[in-house]
């Protein structure tokens, strides 16, 4: 009886094993490392993550940007009137106290459930710290740029304000809001610092120590706490946020109309550009967005890694 293995032809090629899609397994015999089968392109998906946007919703979302543009415009307006001696230091101090009181009232009304005694005490201590530090350092700020020409000061201040607006977080707050899970990001901190430096440059051109203290306290309140207040208003009620923003825009346009007609036209054009033209452009360019997804993409986590 002969062995059956002796009848096998050694020249007969062995059957190639079927290719399997595995993430970690090394090279499979008979296939290249980058081999793909016929089902590779069947899993291709086009425009899976493209969001269909509604122009009205985009315009409403852009209100937050226009609102903060008006806040910065009002700060510039106060700076101009202070430098022209139209506003004195007593009026600035009354304005500071009024803004601080109204901001605290708004926080108490909109974040009543999230505010605690400890949080209010921390806010109060921070305000006292900023006020005391500003008053002590006011003489230094007053003479800080004495050897620098005014043209250089105006140019640097304008550049810092543009940087501030470019890096500002329009969807959140400059400081951590009550109940918020995340702290402000790095760009938001850089934006805040640039606005404070611009305020110091403006304050260095004022005639008295009390002027410097009042204008810096005003700028700190606006740039530091105004985003928190507007964020709380928006989270509390979007209709209230919309009404507040429209009223703020009308007041800002009125003051700029009284100041200079050209500035009024520039501000009005900027608001129209942000609220109308930019959302229209965003909707139009969505037609040209083309995204391809498939098995070649990197794996993505379907959960938050911090959970």
pLDDT for 112 equals 66
Using DSSP's 3-state secondary structure scheme, residue 45 falls into strand
Rounded to an integer, the average pLDDT of 58-77 is 93
Residue given tokens 């000061």 in the structure block? 153
Look at the block and give the residue holding tokens 């977080």. Answer: 169
Q: What Rg do the C-alpha atoms of the chain give, in angstroms?
A: 30
2 has pLDDT over 50? no
> Any alpha helices (H) in the chain, and if so which ranges?
55-61, 63-83, 89-110, 117-142, 150-167, 186-203, 209-220, 226-236, 238-259, 261-272, 278-285
Distance CA(296)–CA(54), nearest Å, equals 31
Q: Reduced to 3 states, what is the DSSP secondary structure of residue 15?
A: coil
Average pLDDT over residues 97-102: 91
Selected residue with higher pLDDT from 180 and 244? 244
CB burial class (10 A; 0-12, 13-18, 19+) of residue 85?
Answer: exposed
148/183: higher pLDDT: 148
Q: What is the pLDDT of residues 181-231, one digit of tens each?
A: 566 778 888 998 999 999 999 999 998 899 999 999 999 899 988 888 898
Whether the full predicted model's pTM is greater than 0.85, yes or no, is no
Query: Residue 305 pLDDT > 60, yes or no?
Result: no
pLDDT at 277: 94
Tens-place pLDDT, residues 113-137? 666 677 778 878 888 888 898 899 9
Reported as a single tens digit per residue, the pLDDT across 257-287 is 999 999 999 999 999 999 999 999 988 887 7
What's the rounded Cα separation, in Å, for the pair 161 and 167? 10
CA–CA separation, 142 and 207 (whole Å): 8
| Cα 227 to Cα 233: distance, rounded to the nearest angstrom | 10
Average model confidence (pLDDT) across the chain: 82
Q: What is the pLDDT of residues 6-36, one digit of tens each?
A: 455 555 555 666 766 666 666 667 676 666 6
- Whether the predicted pLDDT of 1 surpasses 50: no
């Amino acid at each position: 009886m002969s062995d059956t293995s002796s009848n096998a032809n050694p020249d007969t090629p062995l059957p190639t094993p079927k290719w399997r899609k595995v993430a970690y397994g090394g090279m499979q015999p008979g296939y290249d490392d980058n081999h793909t089968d016929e089902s590779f392109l069947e899993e291709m998906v086009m425009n899976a993550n493209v969001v269909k946007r509604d122009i009205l919703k985009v315009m409403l979302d852009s209100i937050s940007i226009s609102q903060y543009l008006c806040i910065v415009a009002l700060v510039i307006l106060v700076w101009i009137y202070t430098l022209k001696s139209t506003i004195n230091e007593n009026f600035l101090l009354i304005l500071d106290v009024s803004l601080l009181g109204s901001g605290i009232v708004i926080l108490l009304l909109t974040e009543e459930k999230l505010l605690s005694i400890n949080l209010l005490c921390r806010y109060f201590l921070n305000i006292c710290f900023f006020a005391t530090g500003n008053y002590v350092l006011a003489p230094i700020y007053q003479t800080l740029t004495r050897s620098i020409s005014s043209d250089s000061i105006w140019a640097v201040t304008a550049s810092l304000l543009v940087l501030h607006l470019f890096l500002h977080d329009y969807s959140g707050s400059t400081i951590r809001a009550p109940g918020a899970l995340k702290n402000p990001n790095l760009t938001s901190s850089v934006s805040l610092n640039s606005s404070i430096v611009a305020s110091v440059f403006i304050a260095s051109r004022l005639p008295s120590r009390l002027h410097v203290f009042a204008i810096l306290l005003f700028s700190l309140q606006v740039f530091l706490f105004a985003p928190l207040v507007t964020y709380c208003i928006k989270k509390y009620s979007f209709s209230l946020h919309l009404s507040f923003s429209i009223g703020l825009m009308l007041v800002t346009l009125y003051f700029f109309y009284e100041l200079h007609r050209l500035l009024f036209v520039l501000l009005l054009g900027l608001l129209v550009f942000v609220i109308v033209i930019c959302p229209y452009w965003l909707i139009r360019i969505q037609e040209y967005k083309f995204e391809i997804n498939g098995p070649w993409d990197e794996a993505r986590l379907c959960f938050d890694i911090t959970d």
